[in-house]
Structure 1
Amino acid sequence: METITVPTFIDVAHRGASGYVPEHTRASTVLAHGLDVDYIEQDVQLSRDGIPVVLHDLYLNRVSNVADVFPTRQRPDGHYYVVDFSLKELKQLSLKPRTKSDGELRYPDRFQPSSLVFPIQTLAESISLIKQLNRTRNKNIGVYIEIKAPRWYHGQDYDATAAVVEVLKEQGYKDGEAPTKIYLQSFDPETLRRLKREFHIDYPLVQLIADNSWNESGVDYDSLRTYAGMESLSAYADNVGVWLNHLLTGVEDNQPQWSDILTHAKRTNLNVFVYTLRDDQLPAGVTSLKQLRDWLKKAGVTGAFSDFPDKK
């Protein structure tokens, strides 16, 4: 495959500087800003009162002390769902380092559990924080917002997409104005179509492509990774976000081996973002994040999400 050197590379702080402090906290946001990234990511869930909050998971078990504060509020499946708690209740919780299903730390060499309090951010608070930091530091760092599980929320009688759009309007993203750089992303194609057609959003949209085993939605993501799939999604999105393991198929003789994704994307005029680069979870054959990032850049990738956005 032809090697392309792009003049710039977009570094996105994955859930903030989540390799150093608990994900999606104010501390993670501030640290990422201080590391001079290009964008800071916000995953969005909804509170019971319909307020967008910055959390990755539908439930709170693995990233907060919810079981200590509200021990009886789990659903029959054992999970404490974000949407079952009002914003006032969510603000009583503290975020903590992510754990696995057995309670063990997901990344044991990262930030350790402590008595420090890390409140949950609303989307409005996170955007306001970044805008103020841009002003005081004379920067133009953007937001990279993911609307999580919109179909699931629809089944709970919530419209996650409309709730996010309303916050954006309140924060000044309207009438062609944008107080920061911005991308909007989703695993759900219909959500991106709605943003374009119903809400007339003209900010860059990113179709995230999952692995089918993750059950992100009813979409066949294997088909989206084909040329025909990318051609179809190019009608409503200018960018795709792909899993690193779907792009980097291996390393041979110290050289990266790529799948056909980049070729398909180039043919359909789609920019490619890659998730997620982790210094403590490097693919086989990769010696450093800098090496991986350099390979991605030389291959023509537009940008990447990283838990360690300073390692480049």
Structure 2
Amino acid sequence: MYNLKLMKSKIVIAHRGASGYLPEHTLEAKAMAYAMNPDFIEQDLVLSKDDVPIVIHDIYLDDVTDVATKFADRKRIDNRFYVIDFTFDELKKLKVTERFNPKTGEQVYPNRFPIWKGNFKLHSLQEEIEFIQGLNKSTGKNIGIYPEIKEPNFHQKEGKNLTKIVLKILADYGYKTKQDNCILQCFDAKELEKIRKELKSDLFLIQLIEFEKETKQLTHFATFADGIGPWYKQILSEKTDGKFSFTSLVSDAHKLGLKVHPYTFRADDLGEFSSFEEMMQTLFIDAKIDGGFTDFPDKVISFLKKKKLY
């Protein structure tokens, strides 16, 4: 039995929160996303030096925080600053800002929240779960979480087991089975398979897909995962006379009983689409995806409501 939310025709996942409007993975971005009523809010997870899962998109700190000025001497030989080299208390001292290029200092999405303005901080998985569960209690809503195990191999090389720590926290907060309001995702297929088969997790699992060759491994993924999270471009084939044709990825996945949740829908990064509306129509309706990750949850929900799909 799946959570009823996963039986909906379309689901909306707030990608790093309402990250089109506020710095990604801050509690402020999560609060704004929550108010937009998505089905799930995403948490990317990386361990601190003292084994606290931190909600941040990457193992690096230097493209979303002021670590290079606050802890200039803590960079590694590659000139990068790593979350895993800092304790939770140290990470709390950092200021978080809009994503920028650490080499040039330039903001990645120039029309988003102004860089270095405001007072945003990093937080832990536990803090975010308590925040979302607290809002579920006070509002009567039931918005889910969608955590991602980030770079498990990197953590293992550093002598840490991110996956076990995350699964324990999820279980402690009541996320254990497919009925619970949690989807767990990972790019590392070996790790996701291990979560299902060795660690015996009964959570709803999504195999993220980055490379083309992985789109050919759906039969294998279906032995442990409940769905896939491909890059949306892996669904598109070509555009002729204003109409897109599609690869067989969605239909192949559906034949195997896998849900399809592509990433990432950005109103300020349209790629081959002429408008965000065209992007939504093409992917949600023409390509028949089951859900998607977006920096702009309000815009996706508004589109789906107009089409009576939400």
Alignment of 1:59-78 (within 5 A): 59-78=60-79
CA deviations over 1:255-285 (Å, ceiling 9, x no partner): 222122113212322111110001111022x
Amino acid of the residue matched to residue 245 of structure 1? Answer: K
In structure 1, what is the Cα distance between the partners aligned to 2:139 and 2:178? 21
Alignment match, 1:51: 52
Alignment of 1:111-122 (within 5 A): 111-122=113-124
Once the two structures are overlaid, the 10-residue window that deviates more, 51-60 or 250-259, is 250-259
Residue in structure 1 matching 2:261, options 242, 260, 273: 273
In structure 2, what is the Cα distance between the partners aligned to 1:122 and 1:143? 14
Amino acid of the residue matched to residue 37 of structure 2? Answer: D
Alignment match, 1:91: 92
Amino acid of the residue matched to residue 241 of structure 1? Answer: G
In structure 1, what is the Cα distance between the partners aligned to 2:135 and 2:290? 25
Alignment match, 2:205: 205
In structure 2, what is the Cα distance between the partners aligned to 1:193 and 1:271? 17
SS in 1 for 2:244: strand
- Conserved in 1, the CA contact under 8 Å of 2:95 and 2:121? yes
In structure 2, what is the Cα distance between the partners aligned to 1:72 and 1:26? 28
In structure 2, what is the Cα distance between the partners aligned to 1:247 and 1:177? 26
Structure 2 gaps, min length 5: 1-6, 301-310
In structure 1, what is the Cα distance between the partners aligned to 2:8 and 2:90? 46
TM-score by length of structure 1 reads 0.89
Alignment match, 2:189: 189
Assess, with a 3 A threshold, how the Cα gap between structure 1 residues 145 and 7 changes in structure 2: closer, same or farther: closer
Once the two structures are overlaid, the 10-residue window that deviates more, 134-143 or 114-123, is 114-123
In structure 2, what is the Cα distance between the partners aligned to 1:102 and 1:264? 42
Amino acid of the residue matched to residue 294 of structure 1? Answer: Q
Higher-helix-fraction structure: 2
Matched, 1:303 2:303: no
SS in 2 for 1:276: coil
Alignment of 1:26-175 (within 5 A): 26-100=27-101, 101-174=103-176
Amino acid of the residue matched to residue 246 of structure 1? Answer: Q
Q: In the comparison of the two structures, how many residue pairs are matched?
A: 292
Residue in structure 1 matching 2:270, options 262, 273, 282: 282
TM-score by length of structure 2 reads 0.90
SS in 1 for 2:155: helix
How far is 1:98 from its partner? 0.3
How far is 1:177 from its partner? 8.9
Amino acid of the residue matched to residue 224 of structure 1? Answer: E
Amino acid of the residue matched to residue 73 of structure 2? Answer: T
Residue in structure 1 matching 2:215, options 218, 225, 233: 225
Alignment match, 1:217: none
Residue in structure 1 matching 2:227, options 239, 245, 250: 239
Alignment match, 2:308: none
Once the two structures are overlaid, the 10-residue window that deviates more, 10-19 or 94-103, is 94-103
In structure 1, what is the Cα distance between the partners aligned to 2:118 and 2:269? 26
Amino acid of the residue matched to residue 223 of structure 1? Answer: K
How far is 1:12 from its partner? 0.4
SS in 2 for 1:72: helix
How far is 1:53 from its partner? 0.6
How far is 1:64 from its partner? 0.4
How far is 1:311 from its partner? 0.8
In structure 1, what is the Cα distance between the partners aligned to 2:8 and 2:259? 14
Question: What's the % identity of the aligned pairs?
Answer: 37
In structure 1, what is the Cα distance between the partners aligned to 2:143 and 2:254? 27
Assess, with a 3 A threshold, how the Cα gap between structure 1 residues 249 and 103 changes in structure 2: closer, same or farther: farther
Once the two structures are overlaid, the 10-residue window that deviates more, 286-295 or 239-248, is 286-295
In structure 2, what is the Cα distance between the partners aligned to 1:94 and 1:177? 36
In structure 2, what is the Cα distance between the partners aligned to 1:262 and 1:97? 33
How far is 1:246 from its partner? 1.4
SS in 2 for 1:96: coil
Amino acid of the residue matched to residue 278 of structure 2? Answer: Q
How far is 1:173 from its partner? 2.4
How far is 1:7 from its partner? 6.3
Alignment match, 1:263: 251
- Conserved in 1, the CA contact under 8 Å of 2:107 and 2:115? no
Amino acid of the residue matched to residue 195 of structure 2? Answer: L
Alignment match, 1:12: 13
Once the two structures are overlaid, the 10-residue window that deviates more, 108-117 or 238-247, is 108-117
- Conserved in 1, the CA contact under 8 Å of 2:42 and 2:147? yes
CA deviations over 1:275-306 (Å, ceiling 9, x no partner): 0001111022x232233222222222110100
